[in-house]
Amino acid sequence: MTALLKQDNSEISLLLKTLKNILKSRGLLYQDVAAALGVSETTVKRYLTGHSLSVDVLEQLCRLVDLRMSDLVDIARESQAELPPLSHAQEENLAREPFMASLFYLIAKGHTPQSLQKDFGIDDAQMNRFLTTLDRWGLIRLFPFNRVKLRVSPLFQVERGGPLARSLRANMLDDMFRKFDVEMEDWSYSFAKLSPASVERARELLREFTHALAKISEQDRDLTDESAGYWSMFVMMTPLDVRQQKVKLAACGAKAA
């Protein structure tokens, strides 16, 4: 008889938490796991909370997501450690490869290599080459079957004026602004008089908005091309010299007359 694992063991709890996150990221529901293991959904829920869990069952759950037990242990241990921010050298590497930078950004936001292959029409050899390079740069850890684990914080901040910021402007923002159409409905403009404290609050709102957009997009990651498409967004706040603006507007008025 296979010995049961102790549910109050902190390491087992960590392994199960990690496993549940992986199942969720793969879009696997309790009913899917139950069908694969040949048990009821209630039993699966008991397993994933540590009840009646044996090594054999844990190995079956790992195989369901193409993991070895050792892979799960490694991923769980890495998840406990605080991930470092993106380094300047890593930014330089990504800036030299804009498409790979886009792939890494989406992986950091929770997209799987498999879904990105489908969205961007990347074959297995190409994706493996991209992932191997990201692994070599210390951005991800690559597991068999193109499973990945981040090695930098998914909440990384791009260096102001750094390599990635310059690459973003050259390869994406300039194109966005060239295609800007005032008749589009998805834009807005405002200006206001703000104290330093209010400016900081406005910055917080910008950060909250981008984080909220990321959360909204989580539910749409695995939708087909017919159901969803990629959108880009750029949000910026900058000081306005109203006296100089008055001169410009007056000059525009004179030309119009």
pLDDT digit string, tens, across residues 121-154: 999 999 999 999 999 999 999 988 888 988 988 7
> Looking at this protein, which amino acid is placed at residue 251?
A
- At residue 46, the pLDDT reads 87
- pLDDT, the chain, mean: 84
Least confident of 3-7, 11-15, 121-125, 187-191: 3-7
User: How many other β-carbons are positioned within 10 Å of the β-carbon of residue 96?
Assistant: 11
* Residue 139, both tokens: 């951005």
Nearest C-alpha neighbor of 153 from the set 84, 77, 78:
84
pLDDT digit string, tens, across residues 102-116: 999 999 888 889 889
- At residue 5, the pLDDT reads 61
In three-state form (DSSP H/G/I as H, E/B as E, the rest C), the secondary structure along 178-196 is: HCCCCCCCCCCCCCCCCCH
- At residue 1, the pLDDT reads 41
Does pTM top 0.75 for this prediction? Answer: no
Assess whether pLDDT exceeds 50 at residue 163: yes
Assess whether pLDDT exceeds 50 at residue 24: yes
pLDDT digit string, tens, across residues 66-99: 888 888 888 877 766 677 889 999 999 999 999 9
- At residue 76, the pLDDT reads 78
Q: Kindly give the interhelix angle for 98-108 and 88-96, rounded to the nearest 10 degrees.
A: 120
- Domains, in order of start, for the chain: 10-80 (1.10.260.40), 181-256 (no CATH)
